[in-house]
Amino acid sequence: MAQDIQPLDTATARIHQLESAVHRLSVENDRLKNILSFEAATMAGELLDAEESLNQSNRDLRSVLNNMPAMIGYWDKNLCNRFGNTAYVEWFGDAGTSIAGKHIREVIGEERYQLNLPYIEAALLGERQAFERAIPSPDGKQVRYSLAQYLPDIVDGEVQGFYALVSDVSAIKHTEANLREKDEKLRGLYELSPLGIAMADMSGRFIDFNEAFRNICGYSTEELKELDYWALTPQRYAADEAVHLEQIKRAGHFGPYEKEYLRKDGCLIPVAMNGVLVTGSDGQPYIWCIVEDLTKRKHAEQLKRVLDEYHELSLDVLDQKREKIVGALTTLSLYRDNETGLHLNRVKLYVEALAKELRRAGCYTDQLTDRQIDIIVKAAPMHDLGKVGIPDSILLKPGRHTSEETVVMRTHAQIGESILVAVAGHEDTSNSLLVVAALIAGSHHEKWDGSGYPRGIKGQAIPLAGRLMALADVYDALTTPRVYKRAWTHEAATVEILGLKGISFDPAIVDAFQQVEARFRDIALELGDSVTHAPHDL
């Protein structure tokens, strides 16, 4: 019995052991389930995060590709589209149309497909391709230019398809076309320019030149390309050329300067040159020169000098003839007026003394150059030329004139002016002797306050030469005896003239007279007419 109980206890203990083991296994199983459940959840979350990240990266990549101006697409080996960015779609169809899954022929059109087929086939053989195409816009209103590249997609040595990268180069093409057009225009102007234009390197070898330059030099294009700058330059210009070469290196330009070129035919021709330093496409310095042929200008200048000399000579001869005519008329008027040649000499010297003193004092300097003073002095003796037109009964009357005779007598101013204007002809410059003489004749009886004759003009409206003559003539008339009066003394005449300052005479000229009145006295004494009446004070 006892033996039967022992195995039962052993079995019970074994059962308990098994139950305990099962419990432990159950607990471990639960623990493992919890662990696996957590790990699975974690892995699932990571997978979801990874998928989202991949999707975001894909969206970012598509966004980047769609915003690129270049067309980017992928075509599989069956030539079906797997991807095309926005630019690709816009070039070949409506922006809202998808090209995914379409055959390349359907997308780019049959004509362009046939043109591109050699490049497509080469790309499917694993060869990179690059070529240009003119592609009409979808609406057909314009032509766009593209640069296409086909890049094979090779996996494990087998071509899966190719990437298409197409860049819009329309702006570049249009710019190139505009540049070509401008270049053609500039080339036309370059060749048609009347100025010689040439480019040389720093050693003087000619690189380019236009037709005008070839004509100046007398060499053909082939000959000039074998020559250099120094072949056209006489040796005597070597020092000047060295200076200009240093100048262009330092300042980037030279000229203008004149020199001579030695032509092919051995002739020396005058030229004017300007130069500028430029950098060529090869990075080397070159000199562009503009060369003007001065032959015609030099000939014209020489001809002008000859004509000017001839003209001056002709004017001198003409002036001499006119002076002789006027001199004869002036002498005639003196004889008719019972004047002597001493009167003419005196008024010339009076006018000269007044003019030089005015200039010394800084008055009317622009009208009293040496040349102008000389003309006024020479013209002074012609002031009474108009007396040749006055009847003898009035001109030679031994007593004072009646009022009617005075009116006639006063016409001598305009008569003299008219004669001198007629003799002067078309001369109208202030440097003409006869024109100045006419001004003096017509204005030497005008008065500063406007009370003179023949026109009654006043102030500086009266020609300066006439104002000078007015004072000189009055002084000479006062200090010279007449048949109807005795000569005034110098002192009395001086007081009279000072009293007429600002009335009959220009104040500045009266001031000048005060400075040279001693010279007036000396002239009057040295060149005075013989008198029969004793002078008396007034």
- Alpha carbon separation from 308 to 54, 300, 368, 391, 430 (Å, rounded): 97, 12, 25, 44, 19
List of the chain residues with pLDDT < 70? 1-11, 36-47, 49-69, 92-97, 137-140, 313-315, 319, 322-323, 326, 329-341, 426-431, 483-484, 530-538
**Domains (range + CATH), the chain:** 66-173 (3.30.450.20), 193-293 (3.30.450.20), 305-526 (1.10.3210.10)
In the numeric block, which tokens belong to residue 28?
């471990």
What's at 233, amino acid-wise?
T
Radius of gyration of the chain (CA): 57
In the numeric block, which tokens belong to residue 343?
């009167």
303 contacts: CB under 8 Å, gap ≥ 6: none
Tell me how crowded residue 430 is: count the other CB atoms within 10 A of its CB. Answer: 14
**Per-residue 3-state assignment (H helix, E strand, C coil) for 320-352:** HHHHHHHHHHHHHHHHHCCCCHHHHHHHHHHHH
Tell me how crowded residue 346 is: count the other CB atoms within 10 A of its CB. Answer: 25
In the numeric block, which tokens belong to residue 470?
């007015």
Q: Which residues pair with 80 in a beta bridge?
A: 103
Alpha-helical segments (H) within 83-233: 86-92, 104-108, 110-124, 170-192, 211-217, 221-225
Kind plus residue range of the DSSP H or E element containing 103: none
Measure CA of the first residue to CA of the last residue in the chain; give whole Å. Answer: 204
- Check residue 70 and give its pLDDT: 79
Q: Strand pairing of 206-209 and 158-168? A: unpaired
Place of tokens 């002597």: 340
In the numeric block, which tokens belong to residue 73?
């697409």
Q: How many CA atoms lie within 13 A of 21 on its CB side?
A: 6
Q: Shortest CA distance to 509 belongs to which of 211, 517, 379?
A: 517
Taking each helix axis from N to C end, the angle separating 341-360 and 464-479, rounded to the nearest 10 degrees, works out to 130
Phi and psi at residue 94, to the nearest 5°: -70, 145
Q: What is the pLDDT of residues 336-387, one digit of tens each?
A: 555 656 888 899 999 999 999 999 999 999 999 999 999 999 999 889 888 8
d(CA 523, CA 192): 72
Order of all β-strands in the sheet with 158-168: 81-84, 71-76, 158-168, 143-155, 129-136
- Give the predicted TM-score (pTM) of the model: 0.46
Q: Strand pairing of 268-279 and 253-262? A: antiparallel
Helix, strand, coil abundance in the chain, percent, nearest 5: 60, 15, 25
Question: Would you mind telling me the total number of residues written for the chain in this entry?
Answer: 538
In the numeric block, which tokens belong to residue 474?
């009055």
Q: 410, 417 in Cβ contact below 8 A?
A: no
d(CA 224, CA 231): 10
CA 464-442-497 angle, to 5 degrees, is 55
Return the DSSP state at 80: B
d(CA 510, CA 528): 22
User: What's the gap between Cα 459 and its chain centre?
Assistant: 46
Kind plus residue range of the DSSP H or E element containing 165: strand 158-168
- Alpha carbon separation from 153 to 23, 73, 103, 435, 522 (Å, rounded): 60, 12, 17, 102, 122
- Check residue 533 and give its pLDDT: 36
d(CA 422, CA 28): 147
